[in-house]
Amino acid sequence: KTLVHGDQRRLFNTSNSRMTIMPAWVIDRYGSNDVLRFTKNASFPIINYPNEVVVQVHAAGLNPIDVSMRGGYGAATMAMKRDPLNIKQSGSEFPLILGRDMSGVIMECGLDVTPAYFKEGDEVWAAIPPWKQGSLAEFVVLSANEVSKKPKCLSHIEAAAVPYVAATAWSALVNTGGLNKDNCAKKRILILGGSGGVGTFSIQMLKAWGAHVTVTCSQNAERLVRGLGVDHVVDYTAGPVEVPLRALEKFDLVLDNVGGDTESWALGLLKPWCGAKYVTLVTPFLCNTDRLGIADGMLQTGVTVASKALKHLSKGVHYRWGMFAPNGLALDDISEMVDAGKIRAVVEEEFTFSQVPQAMLKVEKGHARGKTVVKIS
């Protein structure tokens, strides 16, 4: 309690004892959709560090990683992040709460969180790191540097469609790809997989920064991506997509949201010896650590990425892996772009809190056209 300031009364229930439980969707083991369980008795999140805030979740966005994590994907790396000294027993992550995107209202602030940054009642959005308890719950605790003021012009439902894909796109395009608002004009960017969450966000950010954007997607997604400002669309369902792509002028950056065999041809679409980069979001990093353990998995990952980077460097192009990284400061910039009308939320379907299993199934089926969002409160 000494870590917390603010109006404590908000967190007291009618019997005047501190709230210790909350409604949430949890899993108690990894598996298919039937492991999801609704409970009114999930542990209320506690502020453990003075830079943390408790947020009441109004809406939660889902991502493919929620479906993967439900099945145990990334469990080894997440266990290491949660418990670096490996003190806890295996399975101590349960009951686990999924949900990486959230929009809500700050209920409580740690002592180091000054009103200049956040205070109770602020409307905020955040992408929740996969090693933390997620947003399919009424409350969540986060570090203040993971949180950002939500764009004023978006509802909570719309806001919950943005942070995880935005933070991923920022990490891949800005931190790894070296793009920013001042160097994008006239750059030619190719996005493989333009119609899902990362694609629909990345298109808008790159167009706002003046880039020329080509995407691949299914024919029935062309209208959606054109509406977001794309310059050129290639239908990947019409035949081997690399054939029409090879006929185009070469690119300064390829963002790969698809993976599979794309690596065998996508680097050949880059301008050689110009600093052009291929950044893929589909990497074996978490699979390696799940399969081989942390030490061997990281070693294998390092060897794989280094050998591929060297191989392609000799051909004059850069090969990189992109990773989600929590980034409240990037969300501040994105919030401004949203409020300036440069980026909009692309919500494909909205579900109620009682429909979380249906929402997960929707994401699992694939063929996303933007984002799936759950209204929490």
Residues that bind ligand NDP (CB under 6 A): 63-64, 165, 168, 192-193, 195-199, 216-218, 236, 257-258, 281-283, 322-324, 366-368
Q: Which residues contact 269 (CB under 8 A, 6 or more apart)?
A: 190, 242, 245, 246, 248, 250, 251, 254
Contact 112/124 with Cβ under 8 angstroms?
no
In the complex, what is the shortest distance from the CB of residue 55 to ligand NDP, in angstroms, rounded to a whole number? 22
In the complex, what is the shortest distance from the CB of residue 130 to ligand NDP, in angstroms, rounded to a whole number? 9
In the complex, what is the shortest distance from the CB of residue 2 to ligand NDP, in angstroms, rounded to a whole number? 36
Q: Which residues contact 220 (CB under 8 A, 6 or more apart)?
A: none
Cα angle value 157/338/116 (rounded, 5°): 90
Contact 59/156 with Cβ under 8 angstroms?
yes
Q: Measured between alpha carbons, how far is residue 369 from residues 207, 262, 281, 347 in Å?
A: 19, 21, 18, 8
Q: Closest CB to ligand NDP among 147 and 281?
A: 281
Eight-class DSSP state of 12: B
Q: Closest CB to ligand NDP among 22 and 159?
A: 159
In the chain, the amino acid numbered 131 is W
Q: Closest CB to ligand NDP among 77 and 168?
A: 168
In the complex, what is the shortest distance from the CB of residue 195 to ligand NDP, in angstroms, rounded to a whole number? 4
Q: Closest CB to ligand NDP among 70 and 149?
A: 70
Q: Closest CB to ligand NDP among 101 and 108?
A: 101
Whose CA is closest to 99, among 363, 322, 365? 363
In the complex, what is the shortest distance from the CB of residue 71 to ligand NDP, in angstroms, rounded to a whole number? 13
Alpha-carbon span 209 to 193, nearest angstrom: 20
Q: Closest CB to ligand NDP among 79 and 107?
A: 79
Closest-approach residue to ligand NDP (CB): 196
Q: Pseudo-torsion of CA 272, 276, 281, 285, nearest 10°?
A: 70
Q: Closest CB to ligand NDP among 230 and 281?
A: 281
Q: Closest CB to ligand NDP among 156 and 371?
A: 371
In the complex, what is the shortest distance from the CB of residue 196 to ligand NDP, in angstroms, rounded to a whole number? 2
In the complex, what is the shortest distance from the CB of residue 152 to ligand NDP, in angstroms, rounded to a whole number? 25
Sign for the CA dihedral angle at 312, 317, 318, 319 comes to negative
In the complex, what is the shortest distance from the CB of residue 215 to ligand NDP, in angstroms, rounded to a whole number? 8
Q: How far is CA 370 from the centre of its chain?
A: 13
